[in-house]
Amino acid sequence: MRTESIKIRAERGYFGERIDLYAFSKSDGITSQGLPLVMETIPNNNARISDPTISIGKDEAQLLMDDLWQAGIRPSEGSGSAGSLRATEKHLNDMRKIVENKLGVEFK
């Protein structure tokens, strides 16, 4: 039996207060769905985490990222395209100030 990769999809939950995640895979026409996650208590002296809870491929991670973006979740540190755009705009404003001060050119 060939196993397809695990997909994780996200959508804004009922009333928009939470994000719901769905894990599933499809193989040979059969769909398998992940069950709700159960956390296990580990004594502090054994608190080494050795295995990931779940591992997904880059394509599946991109799909999850796109779903989270669609659900209204954005990066908190401002990196990525939005952060790059802000940095570029700040740089352009700095360059305008230099040109105005050194060459006497005014920007409107």
Half-sphere exposure of residue 68: CA atoms within 13 angstroms, side-chain side? 12
Q: Which residues contact 57 (CB under 8 A, 6 or more apart)?
A: 5
pLDDT recorded at residue 81: 67
Instruction: Please give the distance of CA 61 from its chain centroid, rounded to a whole number.
Output: 8
Residue with tokens 């002296």: 45
pLDDT recorded at residue 3: 46
In whole angstroms, what is the distance from residue 17 CA to residue 80 CA? 25
pLDDT recorded at residue 88: 86
Divide the 108 residues of the chain into consecutive groups of 10 and give the mean pLDDT of each group: 72 86 89 90 73 87 93 76 77 88 81
**φ/ψ (deg, to 5) at 9:** -110, 155
